Amino acid sequence: MRHDPPLRDLRFILHETLRIDARPEIDGYADLTPDVTEAIFAEAGKIATDILAPLSAVGDGGCVLENGVVRTPEGFRAAVDAMREGGWPALECAEEWGGQGLPNVIGLSVGLIQSAANIALMIYTGLTHGAYSVLAAHGTPEQKAAYLPKLASGEWLGTMNLTEPQCGTDLGLITTKAIPQPDGSYRLTGEKIWISGGDHDLSENIVHLVLARLPDAPKGTRGISLFVCPKILPGGARNGVRCIRVEKKMGLGGSATCALSYEDATAWLVGEPHRGLPAMFTMMNEARILVAMQGLGQAQAAYHMAADWARERLQGRAPAGPAFPDKPADPLIVHPDVRRMLLDAKAWVEGARCFMLYGSSLIDAEHRHDDPAEREKAADIIALLIPVLKAVLTDGGFHYAVEMQQVFGGAGYMQGSGIEQIVRDSRIAMVYEGANGVQAIDLVGRKLPMKGGAPVMAYFGVLRAFLKAHEDNESLKRDFLDPLKSAMRDMQAALEFFMAEGVKNPNAALAGATDFLHLLGHVAIGHAWAMMAEAALTGLDSDPADRAFYEAKLATGRYYMARRLPETALRLARIRTGAEPVMALPAEAF
C-alpha cells in the first residue's frame, strides 16, 4: 500500500491559510512555526510510511482469541511500541501527566498522517486519548494520578464501553448493573458488545470506561453512570472482565472488536452518579472528530492509489488522438471521465482536509484563547460543526473510496489490490460513534436551535466576515466568492423552511436533516476552498518557486466550486419537499 503523507498541503493549510503561527492569542500557536510543524509531520510521516503502512494488509487477516487473550496481527505490538518510544500518544496530553501539551491541530494532523497509513492499528491509540480526556475532565485526583500518566505514555490503552446486545444508539436501554461496595468501589455485571480494542496483547493493562446503572437509577439516559474498570487491578490481580468473542467484520481486521462480559468486575465511579452520559460525551465528541479524520484519511489513501494507477495503467486512446503514440495505448489519466472521478476525489479530499483543520483550530480556540468571549464563540461553532464533520467526512470517505476503486476497474475488485481493503475499512466510520443519520438529527433537532440559534448565526458571521474582507479581490470573486455566496443563500433558505415548517411538523424538518447536513458540509468545504484560494493567490505573488503547487491548488478549488458546490441547490430542493414524500407510504407497504 502506497502511503504519501500530505506534508506540503499541511504546511499550506496551517501556515498559509489558517496562519496559526500568527495567532498568539491562542496559547501554544506562536510556538508552532513552520520549522517546528514540518519536523513533527516529517517524523510522523516516517513512522507511518516505514512501520504503519506495511502492516495494513497484514492486519486485514484479523485478530484471534486464544486462551482468554486476544492476539493482534504480527507486527502490531512492535508498531505500538515504536509509537510509545516516539512519544506520539502524548502529543496533546498535559505536561503535568507526562504529555507534550501541543494543540489539537497538531494532534489531528499527525493522526491523519498515521491513520491514513493504518486505520485499524491507530484505533487503539485514538480511543486511548479519548479515555485520557474523559478522566482528565471528570476523574478524581486519585484517578488522574493512577491513570493519566499511563494513558499519556501509551503504556496502558483505553476503551469506551457503551453498546449492549439490546441497544446501540438508544443508550437509555442499557442494563449493565453497578452495585456499590463498602470500600467505595462498585461491582459491574453485564455484557458489552462491539468494543474496539476490548482486549489485546498491545499493552500491560486496558482501561475500560463503562456505562452502567446504579440500583437506584431512574429509567432512560438520566439513569446512566460512568465507571473506570481496569483489566488489571492495582496489585496485579486480573479483574472480572473478559473477552467472550472477537467479532467477524467486513473490514478493520486488525482492530479487535470484542464482546466483553463483566462478571462482578471491580470499578470506580467517574464523575457524578447518573451523569455518565454527559461525561462520556467528552470522549464521544473527541471520537467523532477522530472518526471524521479516519474517513478523510481513507479517501486520501484511496485517491493516491487511484492517481498512481491512472497514470500508469494503459487503456485505450485519448479522445482527441493518441497522447503517447509510441506506446500500445494511452494511460487512463487521458480519459475525461477518469479525470472527473480523480478530480472529484482530489477536490473533496483537499477541501475536507482544510475544513477539518479549521474545525480543529476552533477546538483550540475553545480551550486556549485568551478572550473568554472568543472561547464561547468557538465552542458554539464547533458544537454546530461536529456532526457535520463526522458525517460528511465519513460519508465522503466511503464514497470516494468506492469511486477510486472504480478507477481500477476489475483490478480494484481483487483482493491484494489494496483499494478493496480501503473500501471495506472505510465503511464502518459512517456507523460508529453515532450513525450519520443520527448526526443529521442532532444537527437539525439540537444544534440549530441551541442557545436560540447562536451557533449557526455565529458561523454565518464568520462566513460573511470572510466575504466582506475579500469583496474587492477580483481574482477571488467570480470563481470562489460568488459560488460561496450562492451556497450560503441556499443554506439560509433551508433554515427559513425549517423555521416555517419544522415547528408545525417536526417530520418536515427531520425528513430533510441529512440533506441539510450535506448542504452545510458543502458550504463549509466551499469556505475552506475560498480561504485556500486567497492563500494560494498570495503564494503566487510571494513564492514563485512554488508556482506549480499554487496553480494546482487554484485549479482544484475552481473545480470544486464549479462542479461540486452547486449540489447545495439540489439539497435545498429536497428539503423543501417536506415530510410528505418521505412519510406518505404506510409501514406495511415497505
Tell me where in the chain the CATH 1.20.140.10 domain(s) lie. Answer: 281-576
Full 3-state SS string of 158-169: EEEECCECCECC
For residues 354 and 13, the answer to whether their CB atoms sit within 8 Å is yes
Taken as a whole, the chain contains a residue count of 590
Alpha carbon of residue 187 to chain centroid: 34
Q: 85 catalytic, yes or no?
A: no
Cα 415 from chain centre: 26
* CB burial readout 423-440, b (16+ within 10 A) else e: bbbbbbbbbbbbbbbbbb
What is the predicted pLDDT for the residue at 4? 86
For the entire predicted model, the pTM comes to: 0.96
Per-residue pLDDT, 382? 96
Spatial separation of the C-alpha atoms in residues 425 and 415, rounded to whole Å:
13
In the chain, list all ranges with CATH 1.10.540.10.
7-153
- C-alpha cell of 280? 462520556
State the catalytic residue, choosing from 92, 164, 433, 534: 433
Q: Which residue in 246, 241, 220 sits closest to 231, CA to CA?
A: 241
Q: Report the CATH fold assignment for 281-576.
A: Butyryl-CoA Dehydrogenase, subunit A; domain 3 (1.20.140)
Place of cell 443554506: 491
As a whole number of angstroms, the distance between CA 280 and CA 159 comes to: 11
State which residues of the chain have pLDDT below 70: 1-2, 283
Helix axes 454-469, 372-407, angle to 10 degrees: 80
For residue 242, give the H/E element and its range: strand 241-246
How far is residue 2 from each of residues 71, 174, 201, 233, 545, measured CA to CA in Å? Answer: 26, 42, 27, 42, 27
Q: Which amino acid is at 408?
A: F
CB 5 within 8 A of CB 48: yes
Cell numbers linked to 510: 427531520
- Rounded to whole angstroms, how far apart are CA atoms 399 and 391? 12
Q: Which amino acid is present at 520? A: L
Q: Which ranges in the chain are annotated with CATH 2.40.110.20?
A: 157-274
d(CA 274, CA 215) in angstroms, rounded, equals: 11
Report the C-alpha gap between 462 and 459 in whole angstroms.
Answer: 5
Any idea of the CA torsion for 1, 423, 295, 354, to the nearest 10 degrees?
70
Q: Rounded to an integer, what distance in angstroms lies between the CA atom of residue 317 and that of residue 294?
A: 37
Question: Measured between alpha carbons, how far is 145 from 387 in angstroms, rounded to an integer?
Answer: 33
Nearest Cα to 348, choosing from 522, 568, 570? 522
What is the CA angle 450-456-462, rounded to 5?
Answer: 145
* Residue 563, C-alpha cell as written in the block: 462542479
pLDDT, position 11? 98
d(CA 482, CA 101): 40
CATH topology of domain 157-274: Butyryl-CoA Dehydrogenase, subunit A; domain 2 (2.40.110)
Cα–Cα distance measured from residue 180 to residue 192, given in angstroms and rounded to the nearest whole number = 20
Sign of the alpha-carbon torsion through 497, 500, 506, 508: negative
| Amino acid letter, residue 473 | N
Q: Over the stretch 372-422, which tens digit does the pLDDT of each residue have?
A: 999 999 999 999 999 999 999 999 999 999 999 999 999 999 998 999 999
Fold of 7-153: Butyryl-Coa Dehydrogenase, subunit A; domain 1 (1.10.540)
pLDDT score, position 16: 98
Burial status of residue 77 (CB atoms within 10 A of its CB: 0-12, 13-18, 19 or more): middle
Region label for 322, one of left (φ > 0), alpha (ψ between -120 and 50) or beta (otherwise): beta
Q: How far apart are CA 188 and CA 212, in angstroms?
A: 8
